[in-house]
Amino acid sequence: MTALPPLKDSALACEGRVAVLTFRRDDVRNALTGTELVSDIVDTVRWANASSEVSVLIVTGEGAAFSAGGNIKVMRERAAASAYELQRHYQRGIQRIPLALQDAEIPTIAAVNGPAIGAGFDLANMCDLRIGSVNAQFGETFVNLGLIPGDGGSHYLRRMVGDQRAAELTFTGRIVKAEEALALGILLEVTAPEELMPRAREFAGRIAAKPPLALRYAKRLLRMAQRQGLEEHLEACAAFQAILQKTEDHAEAMAAFFEKRTGEFRGK
């Protein structure tokens, strides 16, 4: 396996084909600014893309919060900077997260253990799937501070809950608790706090048991479908399918199907 990247404010562990990235800045409720969490996320995604032994990445927080988003104290300290400097700060800082997760080649799961507020909410939405404990809360709260989602959160929220609900959440900045988040489609499942990580690992394991190359190509297709017309997308589907039909994993999956056994896949 590709060596784990050196992280500063997070822990990264890998078991089987499932990697778990855990934020370890509970002292600031896992804020994404004023910490090294942005770099940790970017470095982890880069590592996962390069590691053929990893099929799923779980992202979670240590302590009471998933992520409080931006550190308001740090924001106040930077207020004296020029508008140009602030713009560059966003581009070189927190906006690296959506760009990294857009390029993630494997499925990503947010295991939301507690509040996911502002950029923390957006981070969860950037993942493919979200499972939350009953303690999870979500809020697109930027407007409460006279701001907008500078991390690109509006790009994800409207696609997930629809234009009208995204507008309501963005314009009011209200907090959504776990059960409502489930009803809105923000969360896929809600669990008891002690069951969150076991369930996330179980769910990730079901995905990771599938042929690794098929997972990576399927992830690419889902991302491409967001911006392609039908004809262009069908062309990509035909090309990817032809590639996968020439893989060893496809041959193994076919053999396992006819022999009524579990397939053993190597990502080749």
Q: How many CA atoms are closer than 13 Å to the CA of 25, on its beta-carbon side?
A: 21
Query: Does residue 106 sit in the same domain as residue 203?
Result: yes
d(CA 244, CA 236): 12
User: What SS3 string covers 53-72?
Assistant: CCCEEEEEECCCCCECCCCH
d(CA 113, CA 132): 6
Q: In degrees, to the nearest 5, what angle opens at C-alpha 167 toward C-alphas 144 and 153?
A: 70
Query: Does residue 229 sit in the same domain as residue 135?
Result: no
CATH number, domain with residue 171? 3.90.226.10
Mean of pLDDT values over 146-164: 95
Query: Does residue 29 sit in the same domain as residue 141?
Result: yes
36's tokens: 């090294």
Residue 2, domain member (yes or no):
no
Residue 231, domain member (yes or no):
yes
d(CA 258, CA 252): 10
d(CA 138, CA 148): 16
Residue 192, domain member (yes or no):
yes
79's tokens: 């207020």
Whether residue 98 contacts residue 126, with contact meaning beta carbons closer than 8 Å, is answered with yes
Query: Does residue 228 sit in the same domain as residue 203?
Result: no
Q: Where in the sequence is the domain holding 228, given as residue range(s)? A: 212-259
Residue 267, domain member (yes or no):
no
Residue 158, domain member (yes or no):
yes
Residues 35-74 pLDDT 10s: 999 999 999 999 999 999 999 999 999 999 999 998 888 8
Chosen domain end from 190, 208, 226:
208
Flag whether pLDDT at 1 surpasses 80: no
Residues 221-245 pLDDT 10s: 999 999 999 999 999 999 999 999 9
Chosen domain end from 193, 208, 223:
208
Residue 268, domain member (yes or no):
no
Query: Does residue 135 sit in the same domain as residue 245?
Result: no
Query: Does residue 204 sit in the same domain as residue 216?
Result: no
Place of tokens 């996911």: 116
d(CA 184, CA 46): 31
Query: Does residue 219 sit in the same domain as residue 175?
Result: no
Query: Does residue 201 sit in the same domain as residue 216?
Result: no
Least confident of 38-42, 146-150, 187-191, 194-198: 146-150
Query: Does residue 95 sit in the same domain as residue 198?
Result: yes
- Please report which confidence band the pLDDT of residue 192 belongs to, taking 50, 70 and 90 as the band edges: very high
Number of domains the chain contains: 2
- Please report which confidence band the pLDDT of residue 153 belongs to, taking 50, 70 and 90 as the band edges: very high
Least confident of 79-88, 208-217, 231-240: 79-88
Chosen domain end from 208, 226, 248:
208
What is the C-alpha R_g of the chain?
A: 19
d(CA 103, CA 115): 26
Residue 264, domain member (yes or no):
no
Residue 152, domain member (yes or no):
yes
Residue in 62, 58, 17 with CA at minimum distance from that of residue 41 = 58
Note the Cα 159 to chain centre separation in Å. 15
Residue in 20, 53, 106 with CA at minimum distance from that of residue 265 = 53
Query: Does residue 42 sit in the same domain as residue 115?
Result: yes
Query: Does residue 160 sit in the same domain as residue 233?
Result: no
Position 175 scores a pLDDT of 98
Flag whether pLDDT at 184 surpasses 80: yes
Helices (H), the chain: 37-50, 72-77, 83-92, 96-102, 119-126, 153-161, 163-172, 178-184, 196-208, 212-225, 230-244, 248-259
Query: Does residue 225 sit in the same domain as residue 161?
Result: no
d(CA 32, CA 1): 28
